[in-house]
């Protein structure tokens, strides 16, 4: 399969000696580590499929998936350099900024929903933040 890397090497070889470059250096894929918050949750099926299905490898990426326990741990792993990029939630980013910790750059969101849901009793419904605050005060 002709990859961009092989094409560029062939083009450079042709320009240098005027002949097609028939021998290309073999390189390992570029290493990347992807950090998923909340472990290997079904919410991150796309990243797990990209790894298991060989999609990262086909793009010359030597990927490693790391399942963090929380979004905060995901942020810590990325900031410390153990992960190249990760998936997280806005509250974790806000907490890191509020604590004046170094924070990674948040680029975009792929999921317009949230993994966390609030369930309440029918006789004491939680429909807005004030309801939750009242309920927590009772506990």
Helix crossing, 90-98 with 71-79: angle to 10°?
60
* pTM for the structure as a whole: 0.53
The answer to whether 59 touches 28, Cβ cutoff 8 Å, is no
> How far apart are the C-alpha atoms of 76 and 82, rounded to whole Å?
9
Backbone angles phi, psi at 78, to 5 degrees: -70, -45
Over pLDDT 90: what percentage of the chain? 9
For the chain, the structural domain boundaries read: 29-138
Instruction: Tell whether the model's pLDDT for residue 113 goes beyond 80.
Output: no
Which has the higher per-residue pLDDT, 46 or 22? Answer: 46
Q: How far apart are CA 67 and CA 41, in angstroms?
A: 9
Of 121, 124, 82, nearest in space to 104 by CA: 82
**In this structure, is the dihedral angle defined by the CA atoms of residues 21, 23, 25 and 29, taken in order, positive or negative?**
positive
CATH of region 29-138: 3.40.190
Q: Render pLDDT for 71-105 as a digit per residue (tens, 0 to 9).
A: 788 888 888 889 888 877 667 777 777 777 776 67
**Gap between the Cα atoms of 87 and 44, Å rounded:** 9
């Amino acid at each position: 399969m002709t990859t961009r890397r092989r094409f560029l090497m062939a083009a450079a070889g042709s320009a240098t000696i005027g002949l097609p470059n028939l021998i290309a250096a073999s390189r390992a894929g570029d290493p990347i580590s992807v950090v998923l918050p909340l472990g290997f949750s079904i919410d991150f099926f796309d990243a797990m499929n990209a790894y298991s299905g060989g999609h990262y490898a086909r793009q010359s990426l030597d990927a490693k998936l790391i399942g963090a326990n929380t979004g905060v741990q995901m942020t810590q792993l990325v900031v410390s350099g153990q992960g190249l990029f990760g998936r997280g939630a806005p509250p974790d980013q806000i907490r890191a900024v509020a604590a004046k910790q170094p924070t990674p750059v948040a680029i975009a969101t792929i999921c317009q929903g949230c993994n966390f849901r609030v369930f309440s009793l029918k006789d004491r419904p939680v429909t807005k933040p004030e309801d939750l605050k009242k309920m927590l005060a009772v506990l």
